[in-house]
Amino acid sequence: MSAARDDNREKLAWWTDARFGMFIHWGLYAEDGCFWKGQDGKSEHMMRHLQIPIAEYEKLATDFNPVKFNADDWVRIAKAAGMKYMIITAKHHDGFATYDSKADSYNIVARTPFKRDPVKELAEACRRAGLRFGVYYSLGRDWHDPDVPTRDGYRSNTWDFPDESRKVLSRYFERKVKPQVRELLTQYGPIAVMWFDTPERISKAESEELVGMIRQLQPQCIVNARVGNPLGDYAVQEQKIPESGDPKPWETCMTLNGHWGYHKMEIM
């Protein structure tokens, strides 16, 4: 156990020293600032808040064309602020991948007029600037997939797929999660952080399989505790700083306003 702790401490050394990174929450919900047909979707969860059917939500991709995106500009801003690493949402709960995924065609290259891979461009820009690069992946929620129940059903896509009892999470895990995580670990060079979110009903065996894959493909990549069950290298405190701290490795993930994604009516 001591050797394992020493190895983990060594892997976390850069992250412990870095202390400050940029977390970018970006996806189809940003097209009209979390609004859909004039309705306020409240946040990047607008698909669930407004119960937008998949067939309608997918249409956002046909207009998603961020031609002013410049990876070097984003990285320059992060570095000027003193940040040492950057993490981008590669796939959020709406199931849309902001990278070139061969495992699932619901992605920015295949479905939008933009036709570019922001994850690739940001990974390369971070390397040029000397910043570490990581990716976010929504693990136990995916509103585009028919096989993803959640613990309480409240955060599932029950408007397109109402019968939670018929959903088989392992099918989604094999069909989408594993191949997409493998893509993220093999297509973009060194990945410093694999930042999972919302494990929900992911089993211990599935969490262990993901950690094993990461250790095999990118031995120096660190993993947050939201891989589930409880595994991972460090814990996440969302939107708060623990008053008494924590003797174990942890981070605070905090927004600049009341949302994670861009909301056009609430801008700092």
Query: What is the pLDDT confidence band of residue 216, given thresholds at 50, 70 and 90?
Result: very high
Task: Tell me whether residue 46 is exposed, middle or buried, using C-beta atoms within 10 angstroms of its C-beta: 0 to 12, 13 to 18, 19 or more.
Answer: buried
The hierarchical CATH code for the domain 2-22+61-239 is 3.20.20.80
pLDDT at 267: 60
User: Does this model's pTM top 0.85?
Assistant: yes
How many residues in total does the chain contain? 268
pLDDT at 192 over 80: yes
pLDDT in tens, 70-95: 999 999 999 999 999 999 999 999 99
pLDDT at 1: 45
What does the alpha-carbon distance between residue 179 and residue 156 come to, in Å, rounded to a whole number?
Answer: 22
Question: Tokens at residue 221, please?
Answer: 């990549």
Query: What is the pLDDT confidence band of residue 238, given thresholds at 50, 70 and 90?
Result: confident
Sign of the dihedral defined by the CA atoms of residues 104, 26, 110, 190, in that order: negative
pLDDT in tens, 132-156: 999 999 999 999 999 999 998 889 9
pLDDT at 246: 76
Nearest one of 60, 135, 63, 133 to 94, comparing CA atoms:
60
Task: Tell me whether residue 81 is exposed, middle or buried, using C-beta atoms within 10 angstroms of its C-beta: 0 to 12, 13 to 18, 19 or more.
Answer: exposed
What does the alpha-carbon distance between residue 191 and residue 185 come to, in Å, rounded to a whole number?
Answer: 7
224: which strand partners? 234
